[in-house]
Amino acid sequence: MTALLVLEDGRLFKGKSLGERGTVIGEVVFNTSMTGYEEILTDPSYRGQLVTLTYPLVGNYGVNKKDNESYRPHLSGLIIKELCTNPNHWQLKSNLSSYLQDEGIVGITDIDTRALTRHIRKKGCMRGIISSKIMDSQKLLSMINKSKLPGEELVKEVSIKKTSSYPGNGPRLIIMDFGVKYNIIRNLKNLDAEIITVPYNTGAREILNLSPDGILLSNGPGDPRSLPEVVKEIKKLVNNVPIFGICLGHQLLGMALGCSIYKLKFGHHGGNHPVKNLQNYSIKITSQNHGYAIKKDSLVPGVEVTHINLNDGTIEGIKHSKYACFSLQYHPEAGPGPDDSNSIFAYFIDIIKSGGNMRCHLEKILKASS
């Protein structure tokens, strides 16, 4: 069945329907990972986006749900070049097309994803619309022009609604859930941490009343600038307890410390991004999924850059010289992607256990980590 992809600048791609029949609008981004489409589909950070997978063949190992990073897919739509209709894997439970249909995800296949990716790289991220029901491209373009990119509601939609907990014998960690991935929780559970996950808009006083040993600001979707009330609460926490931010959590921590955020031209989405650690000059390959970054010229006294992206020089990590807080723009939990950096979770636990020597210990572990 025919499907259309129309971009807000009028560029048209014609292909075949994938998954649920329907019409969906979102920001078009591309992911350069060669594998891991299950993790990508279920990453809450993709809420509101139409995700293009640059690897040409998708679906060859089907779906098993054990690799999911959340309870369901969160992206608005999927764009691929070629669908494998005969997947094979020992954990196979379903094929990709049936899974998307069951989950109500609209997609398109049989389009030139290379041309689409080159177009986005040249023009920048933009809104798009996929439809397998409306074949009038001008009508679809009009629908895009009447739409707008969502703000805080993206995080609201993916965050948990009430506090949940995971038992452990180690330090008590509070996760502010902006769309936390399962593998972040798995890494912390493997370290025997006691984990309490709270909704994204939980106040600082309520968090401190839980007697945390540390706080993790999770990944999540959308523009961090749409969450000013959250930033206010994080400001109240930075001088009270060690804090570790990941992706959106990194940006929110940066804002809480006084830095500014800007939107990248086409974002970083994939499992092959080189990052340099400025503490020890090591280089690691990282998994990334973000469309915003901290402005270099907005850094305030006390905020130091610890990591940079070697592709474009953007900030990938910060720490504070006074407070026991640090953050990474990339994803150390590796889902999907390389696991070069997942030892940072153990380092965070070490910071907490170091007690009064937090800042000294932070210097030490950032030099040892990626």
Give the residue numbers annotated as catalytic, written as ranges. Answer: 247, 331, 333
**Which strands make up the sheet holding 315-320, listed edge to edge?**
164-166, 194-199, 172-177, 214-217, 243-246, 325-328, 315-320, 303-309, 261-277, 283-294
Strand partners for 82 = 57
State the Cα–Cα distance between residues 20 and 98, nearest whole angstrom: 9
CB-based contact 345:264 (threshold 8 Å): no
Q: Is 235 left (phi over 0), alpha (psi -120 to 50) or beta?
A: alpha
The residue count for the chain: 370
Residues 6+ apart with CB under 8 A from 205: 236
Pairing of β 106-109 and β 12-19: antiparallel
Q: Is the omega angle on the peptide bond into residue 336 within 30 degrees of 0, that is, cis?
A: yes
Long-range CB contact pairs, 134-141, < 8 A, 24+ = 134/4, 134/23, 135/2, 135/4, 137/4, 137/6, 137/12, 140/4, 140/6, 140/23, 141/6, 141/8, 141/10
Amino acid at 71: Y
End-to-end CA, the chain: 47
State the Cα–Cα distance between residues 34 and 240, nearest whole angstrom: 41
